[in-house]
Amino acid sequence: MNAKALMAVVLVMASLAAAGPAIQITSAGSSGGSCSSLQLTLLNAQWASLPQYNGSSASLTLTFYSSCTYHAVTFTLAPQCPYISPGPPAFVQSIPANSMFSVTLQLYAERLNVTCPLEVVADAQYGAGFSQTLDASGAYFLTVFVPPYPTFSASLQGSAYLGLPSELALVVRDPYSFPAQVSVSGQSAAVLSPTSPVSIRGDVAIPLKVVPYSQSAAVVVSIRSQDALGNPVSYTYTLYPPVVQPPTPTISISPSTLYLDQLNNVTISVSVPFGANGTAAVFISGASAPASPVVVPIVNGRGEASVEITPLQPSVTFQASVSYSVEGYQQSAQISASIWAVQPPTALAGFTVSPQVLISNSANNLTFTIEAPGRFNAAITISGASAGVPMPIYISGVGSASYSLVVYPTAQQVSISATIQTERGTQQYTVNLPATSSNIFLAAPSPTSVTAGGNRSVVVKLVNQGNVPVEKGVLVIAPASGSPVLMGTVVYNFSSLPPLGVVEVPISFLVPAGQTGSLPFQYTVYYTTPLGSGQAQGVFYVQSFQPPSVLISSTSVTPQTPALGAPFFVSVTVINNGFVAVNNLQVQLEAPPGLTPITPTLNYIGNLAQQQSQTATFSLNATRPGRYVVTLLVTYQDQYGHVYNQTVTLPVAIGGNSTRRFGNFTRAAPGAGGAASDATVVAVAAVAAVAVALVAIGIWRRRR
């Protein structure tokens, strides 16, 4: 290869170093030998087209330099891995000497995002002339990275309300984290946000706010990206969110029973969803009213209006036309409620129902009581519950009568209508009983709180708060999901649990040392009543708290054997070795007669953080010899104000009765010279200075 050709090769190789998936040439061949063999040098290899999915086709472009002339050259791909399958060979009719040329080979990628070694075999049938067959071949080796292709998926989470702004979540899956732009538009729907393309890279959940105009409203998602070669890639998804009707407004009337031919003060309550603002026009039929319709303003989802009406018929109907707005989008609805108007109760008969609240999906004992002067006949109808007896229920009596039965509520409200015929006329009643979703069983722990750290035990009291006896049952208790306690599942069999009866079940569990707050437990009751079997579930809580812990680490008396008439010091060191701080920590000194405190007997330390220590020191003076006991009372509080006490006693022995001794120093006898006297004065001054310093330290701690 001459210098001029070499320079041309270098320039071409530089121009071929374009951006794209990496392809490494591990064996490029040579072109400096005899033309009797294949003298081709592989200069560059790059992707011409990329595979888009497993099994799809792609192509590689190979650039060679030839120092000789060849004719009828075939290039064949031989993959060295199972991830690539070869395509058909490439054929080049003629290759001039000292020239560069490119060959495109087709392949099939059985798998993406992998690296695969390849062998390219070149076979030249003829050399410069066609008179003699050359049959020269050469092998070239590459390491090829098969890049992933931009692949996306889109889905919607949530449901939308017809005609109202609704929040959805657009979940876009981008498994290979290609940068992309996501645009959202609507079909039979308005997209309020986002209004501009959203940039993503990787999986993302994009909040949407849309207003569907029909049940078939769709959200159109456009995703634009680029493949590894920079070629544009786009996807479009048409997603159909569940479109539901907005919740229906509600109307309620209070009181639930009116009196015929009397003026009744009625409160009309209207509620609309989403905390919206609006108005309701309420038309009243079956009664005379000062104005109709009654306009009820609705603010933040609720409105009330009071009106005085006189019922003229046994049934009074309130028909409401409701309109409200959510973020500027209007909604309207027609709702109604009817209530009974009866004769005044003092006129004819009395009708009472017990209990006033029922439990849904459970057996309830229901008792009717009728009181009337003289003979009466009553017909009672129950709706919203199954009773197991034919309707209506007929009751006859004189003066009073009661009737009991078991009902099983099937609706949120059970209506009882009673028509009572007396000797003076007919009295009608309508009683509406709410059926709550409360559990028939109540589980309560005793005690309700335990200290953290260690094995703890409580007694779970299971109460039958219904009004039907339980023949037998099984109670299962386990830690609720996410509970930090360690405990096995407790299974307890019980029988014959009457209404308001109690079953006590002891349980034990491990509480982590640093745990505070509520510990949830899940309980399930499988039970059988005279009406059949059922299942109830609930959660009870045990509170875990951290008790304070103060350790008295050391006590001391200095000097160990105080002298009569000399001051000495009593010290106590406390350490907070618990997990929480203690509050209002103080040490109280109690000294017996014969020991006179010099410093205050109360040393207030205040708050003491965990793993911190503090020392309280007191100074006393002995007025007479003997053996004494000094008492130190350590008092502190936890964060809830509970007071804790610890008491420590220190024996103190007062030695000797000489009034000449002061501490460890002895006053000299008369005539012994002034040196000893001077030493005594110095010792007295030193002890006094220490006492003053300790008092000052105690005052500083209390102020702190």
Residues 511 and 558 in one domain: no
% of the chain beyond a pLDDT of 90:
60
Q: What is the pLDDT of residue 531?
A: 62
Cα–Cα distances (Å) from 126 to 32, 69, 686, in that order, read 18, 9, 118
Q: What is the pLDDT of residue 329?
A: 92
Q: What is the average pLDDT value for the chain, to the nearest integer?
A: 85
pLDDT tens-digit profile of 496-531? 899 889 999 999 999 998 788 889 999 999 988 876
Residues 336 and 286 in one domain: yes
Identify the band that residue 10 occupies on the pLDDT scale cut at 50, 70 and 90. Answer: very low
> Can you give the CATH number for the domain in which 534 is found?
2.60.40.10
pLDDT tens-digit profile of 447-471? 988 988 889 999 999 988 877 788 8
Q: What is the pLDDT of residue 656?
A: 65
Residues 674 and 577 in one domain: yes
Q: What is the pLDDT of residue 467?
A: 73
By mean pLDDT, which of 133-147, 207-221, 420-434, 570-584 is the weakest? 420-434
Q: What is the pLDDT of residue 565?
A: 87
The dihedral built from the CA positions of residue 30, 32, 38 and 43, taken in this order, carries a sign that is positive
Residues 524 and 422 in one domain: no
Give how many domains the chain has, as a whole number.
6
Identify the band that residue 437 occupies on the pLDDT scale cut at 50, 70 and 90. Answer: low
In total, the chain counts a number of residues equal to 704
Q: Residue 429 belongs to what domain range?
A: 343-436
Residues 270 and 335 in one domain: yes
Residues 596 and 676 in one domain: yes
pTM of the model: 0.45
Residues 450 and 372 in one domain: no
Residues 302 and 407 in one domain: no
Residues 226 and 161 in one domain: yes
Per-residue pLDDT at 361 exceeds 50: yes
Alpha carbons 231 and 219: distance in angstroms, whole number: 26
Residues 6+ apart with CB under 8 A from 699: none
The dihedral built from the CA positions of residue 491, 493, 499 and 503, taken in this order, carries a sign that is negative
Q: What is the pLDDT of residue 665?
A: 32
Residues 367 and 428 in one domain: yes
Alpha carbons 356 and 467: distance in angstroms, whole number: 12
Per-residue pLDDT at 658 exceeds 80: no
Q: What is the pLDDT of residue 144?
A: 95
Q: What is the pLDDT of residue 91?
A: 95
Residues 6+ apart with CB under 8 A from 566: 621, 622, 661, 662, 663, 687
Please give the single-letter amino acid code of residue 533.
S
Chain centroid offset of residue 70 CA: 74
Q: What is the mean pLDDT of residues 483-495?
A: 92
Q: What is the pLDDT of residue 197?
A: 96
Q: What is the pLDDT of residue 524?
A: 93
Q: What is the pLDDT of residue 123?
A: 95
Q: Which of 527, 545, 563 is the last residue of a domain?
A: 545
Q: What is the pLDDT of residue 168?
A: 95
% of the chain beyond a pLDDT of 70:
88
Per-residue pLDDT at 696 exceeds 50: no
Residues 21 and 134 in one domain: yes
Q: Which of 515, 545, 575 is the last residue of a domain?
A: 545
Per-residue pLDDT at 147 exceeds 60: yes
Task: Transcribe 68-101 into DSSP letters.
Answer: S-EEEEEEEEEESSTTEEE---EEEEEE-TTEEE
Per-residue pLDDT at 1 exceeds 80: no
Residues 350 and 336 in one domain: no
Q: Which of 120, 146, 172 is the last residue of a domain?
A: 146
Q: What is the pLDDT of residue 63?
A: 96
Q: What is the mean pLDDT of residues 410-414?
A: 86
Q: What is the pLDDT of residue 345?
A: 58
Per-residue pLDDT at 100 exceeds 90: yes
Identify the band that residue 20 occupies on the pLDDT scale cut at 50, 70 and 90. Answer: low
